[in-house]
Amino acid sequence: MEYNDKNVVPNQNNLKKVFLVSSSAKCKPNSVISARILKFFESNEYQLARDVRDANLVFVNTCACTQMLEDKTINLFRDIYKEKNEQAKVISVGCLNAINRKALEDRFSDLHILQNLSELNSITDTLVLFNNSKTCYYDKHLMDYASCDKHFSVMDRGVIIAAEILCRAFKTTRYPSAESTHLPQILDEIYQTNKACVQISSGCKGHCSYCIIKKAKGDLHSRKIDDILDDIDEMHQEGMIKDNTALNLVADDCACYGMDTGESLFSLVAAIHARFTHVPLEFCYVNPSFIVENTNAYLEMFQNVRINSINIPLQSGSDRIIQLMDRDYAVADVLGFVDQVKKISPHTMIWSHFIVGFPSETWKDFSLSLRSARRFHFYVPSTFSVRAGTKASGMTNDVSAFNAKIRYHLFVQQLIFQKACGLLIPKIKNDVSKS
């Protein structure tokens, strides 16, 4: 059902209140959308509710990149309908609306499903119209009002537990090697601290065989450099960028920024660096294919600009699996680039994503992924999820759910062991030398 009702039903206190919850708050593009919605309603004199029962309008910012996250989102809607007041309108935004709209329509007959954020203008008598091209950044003040789903998914929990172990070790013991293991930056990434996020583009130029996000986001749409700089200016003026803050460039693929407008990631970075020289940058997602094509340009950027972190999603350490994923690069080339960045920019935290249990993945393929992961400072594993409409959904998958789960947990165990050794071994060597 499309939302076309211009009348907002008042709550018992006769106040206009909006409540927002996200089913994937760790997703930076998702968080930017949440912040933009809240900013829109705040500018239109709505109060931001912390309790769903107090709200006239209840927004659910959805995610469906995996079946597990789609199921989690559906369960979140069920919880919302149980807890909200009877007169409140429930509105769905985000990826699930495009990926599997029918799943929402079949289960929630009165749910209002927005296909485009510009439809927000029809929800209330607007003092300030929503503008798709402006103010695309993560506002920490507003996001304090956004409720996050309290139920961590099963496959997220392993990484969260690993983070807690590392966090306790870091806080309770003095490890001189903490900086060299990039533990502070890893914890900032996991807990989304010391970051200011600005969106630079949406969509991508890739056609990965397993990815359903393309259906939701579409082709590449890059924002104008001037608009991005205006956002950063505003964030700086509002005190969101401080001495210890890194500026995270948010995109479905940072690497292809500007390919639709005649610009490039390098011209954007140069413009940002020229105006905000002291602010370190972060890239939330950079497709390895474009890194391999432009290795020298990337290395030059790392030499000239302070890069706090970069996410290079290798996805697999097996060239055979990479080809099945329709990702165009050789693993050795990407790992070679990682080694070069470590030499040029040792302060940069380089991290990655890996998919385990991809159709036909053997234990040998998996071992190559484990070995490749060790070349990164941090990595996040996930199990392969069949998404209808993707090329991979038609592949024969002989990897059992049990084996995929084992491989996932082996990844997490390796991460904990790798970081623990990085912390402990230098300390032990130092203690032995002193004795």
Q: What is the pLDDT of residues 248-267, one digit of tens each?
A: 999 999 999 999 999 999 99
CATH class given for the domain over 17-148: alpha beta
Beta bridge partners of 380: 353
Cα separation, 250 vs 340, in Å, equals 24
- Between the CA atoms of 287, 291, 292 and 295, what dihedral angle is there, to the nearest 10 degrees? 180
How many residues make up the chain in this entry? 435
Burial letters for 312-343: b for 16+ Cβ neighbours within 10 Å, e otherwise?
bbbbbbbeebbebbebebebeebbebbeebee
The pLDDT of residue 131 is 76
Please choose, from the candidates 129, 101, 127, the residue with its C-alpha nearest in 3D space to the C-alpha of residue 114: 101
Does the pTM of the predicted model rise above 0.85? Answer: yes
Cα separation, 258 vs 290, in Å, equals 13
| Owner of token pair 């172990």 | 165
Cα separation, 377 vs 427, in Å, equals 19
Burial letters for 82-105: b for 16+ Cβ neighbours within 10 Å, e otherwise?
eebeeebbbbbbbbbbbbbeebbe
Q: What is the CA radius of gyration of the chain?
A: 22
The pLDDT of residue 80 is 95
Domain ranges of the chain: 17-148, 154-434
DSSP type of residue 46: P
DSSP type of residue 367: H
Tokens found for residue 142: 């507003």
Q: Which CATH homologous superfamily contains domain 154-434?
A: tm_1862 like domain (3.80.30.20)
The pLDDT of residue 150 is 47
Query: Would you call 101 helix, strand, or coil by DSSP?
Result: helix
Cα separation, 59 vs 338, in Å, equals 40
The pLDDT of residue 417 is 85
Under-70 pLDDT residues of the chain = 1-14, 132-134, 140-143, 145, 147-179, 423-435
The pLDDT of residue 127 is 81
The pLDDT of residue 11 is 41
Query: Would you call 90 helix, strand, or coil by DSSP?
Result: strand
For residue 102, the one-letter residue type is K
Cα separation, 235 vs 254, in Å, equals 20
Q: 89: which residues sit within 8 A by CB, 6+ positions away?
A: 3, 5, 8, 9, 56, 57, 58, 112
Please choose, from the candidates 79, 64, 80, 62, the residue with its C-alpha nearest in 3D space to the C-alpha of residue 25: 62
Cα separation, 155 vs 44, in Å, equals 39
Cα separation, 240 vs 215, in Å, equals 33
Query: Would you call 352 helix, strand, or coil by DSSP?
Result: strand
Check: CB of residue 205 under 8 Å from CB of residue 253: yes
For residue 381, the one-letter residue type is P
Q: 110: which residues sit within 8 A by CB, 6+ positions away?
A: 1, 90
DSSP type of residue 8: P
Burial label for 260, CB within 10 Å (0-12, 13-18, 19+), is middle
